[in-house]
Amino acid sequence: MAAKKATTPVKDDFVEEIGGVEVRLPSLTYLKPGLIRKIRRLGETDAAYTLLELSLSEEGLAAVDEMDPVEFDELMGRWRDHSGVTLGES
């Protein structure tokens, strides 16, 4: 499924605490050109993990790596929701 962008970009970062660690991710509708350039040819899954690796501190990435898979999927959904991105029909 392809993601559809919000009509108005959300500029605020997505911020959550995971295991006592602040996790801060850029809005998916307001990515800097350098990030877009680095993920532009990647599939959806590779792009998401690359964004995590490029955006999170080592401590934040370690906290995400240790998440339960269901909790991780929920985190990714909240990140999309915060960014105003919805999953489109294929």
What are the tens digits of pLDDT across the range 1-30?
A: 455 554 688 999 999 999 999 999 999 999
Is 87's pLDDT higher than 90?
no
* pLDDT tens by residue, 38-60: 999 999 999 999 999 999 999 99
Nearest C-alpha neighbor of 72 from the set 3, 26, 1, 19: 19
CB-based contacts of 75, cutoff 8 Å, min separation 6: 16, 18, 23, 64, 67
Nearest C-alpha neighbor of 22 from the set 53, 62, 54: 62
pLDDT of 46 reads 96
pLDDT of 90 reads 40
Task: Tell me if the pTM is above 0.85.
Answer: no
pLDDT of 89 reads 42
Tell me what the mean pLDDT of segment 49-75 comes to: 97
CB-based contacts of 60, cutoff 8 Å, min separation 6: 18, 21, 22, 23, 24
